[in-house]
Amino acid sequence: MAQIGSDRPERQIMDAQEIQRSLSRIAHEILERNRGVDDLVLVGIHTRGVILSQRLGENIQRFEGSQAPLAELDINLYRDDLQARENPRVRPTKFPVDVQGKRVVLVDDVLFTGRTVRAALDALSDLGRPKQVQLAILVDRGHRELPIRADYVGKNVPTSLDEEVKVRLTETDRNEDVIIVKLGREIK
């Protein structure tokens, strides 16, 4: 288990205000690219993607005066590494609207290897056939292992593989920021 000790170097790369500004810009970009909210669905990937999708939804409501439906996607049943995972949990996938023919914006906190997004695409296609799928990410940290890129990026952050990017949001964590933690030797 990763524990943040006082001796472990960590540095902040986004504060609360920067997160807010990024989400506000991404909301504008989503509206611009899709020319409004028609047929749009914001799909958050559990857990923090769901929170970010809710915040994007609030921004879109504020800017546009109309709401895009929100959905929640759990990708644990689509992972390619179940064999290596201890005690995985599954959370409910919630789709208030039919995904068929919709413009789906997948929302997650960090884009890293691309495997989570790959799993999310599989999960989506089991639910129906969206017209288009776009990807919104708060932090792109590089090191892709699959041919996947984001359409909307809060911040591009070069990282090394022995670092971990943590997005902390008030809904799930005590803080509201993005930090990079140097991994200790006890963490795989």
Partner 1 sequence: MTTPDAMALGGEAGEVTLAAPTGSRRNVLDLDDFTADEITSVLDDTGAMVEVLGRDIKKVPTLRGRVVVTMFYESSTRTRISFEEAGKVLSADVINMSSSGSSVDKGESLLNTGLTLQAMGVDVVVVRYPHSGAPYLLARHLPQVSVINAGDGLHAHPTQALLDLYTMRERLGTLLGAKVVIVGDVLHSRVARSNLWGLTKMGANVVLSGPTTLMPLDLLSGRDELEEDHPFAQVDVDTDLDRAIEGADVVMALRLQSERQQGGFLPSLREYIRRWQVTDARMARAKSGALVMHPGPMNEGVEISTALAHGESSVIEEQVTNGVAVRMALLYRLCAGRGSRMAQAG
Query: Interface with partner 1 by CB under 8 A: which residues?
Result: 74, 76-79, 82-94, 122-123, 126-127
Distance in Å, CB of 145 to partner 1, minimum: 18
Q: How far is the CB of 90 from partner 1 (least distance, A)?
A: 4
Residue nearer to partner 1 on the CB measure, 124 or 153? 124
- Residues in contact with 20: Cβ distance below 8 Å, sequence separation at least 6, in sequence order: none
Q: Which is nearer to partner 1, 25 or 94 (CB)?
A: 94
Provide CB contacts within 8 A for 148, sequence distance 6+.
Answer: 111, 114, 117, 118, 135
Give the side-chain half-sphere CA count within 13 A for 127.
26
- In the complex, what is the shortest distance from the CB of residue 71 to partner 1, in angstroms, rounded to a whole number? 12
Distance in Å, CB of 87 to partner 1, minimum: 5
Provide the total of helices (H) and of strands (E) in the chain, helices listed first. Answer: 3, 8
Q: Which is nearer to partner 1, 5 or 84 (CB)?
A: 84
Does residue 64 contact residue 37 with C-beta atoms inside 8 Å? yes
Burial class (CB in 10 A: 0-12, 13-18, 19+), 65: exposed
Q: Are 22 and 13 in contact (CB under 8 A)?
A: no
CB of 51 to partner 1, least distance (A): 18
Taking the least distance from each CB to partner 1, the nearer of 78 and 152 is: 78
Q: How far apart are CA 68 and CA 65, in angstroms?
A: 10
Q: Closest CB to partner 1 among 90 and 187?
A: 90
Query: What element of type H or E holds 117?
Result: helix 115-127
The distance of closest approach from Cβ of residue 94 to partner 1 in the complex, given in angstroms and rounded to an integer, is 7
Nearer to partner 1, 22 or 53 (CB): 53
Question: What Cα–Cα distance (Å) separates residue 108 from each residue in 51, 56, 141, 157, 170?
Answer: 9, 11, 13, 15, 16
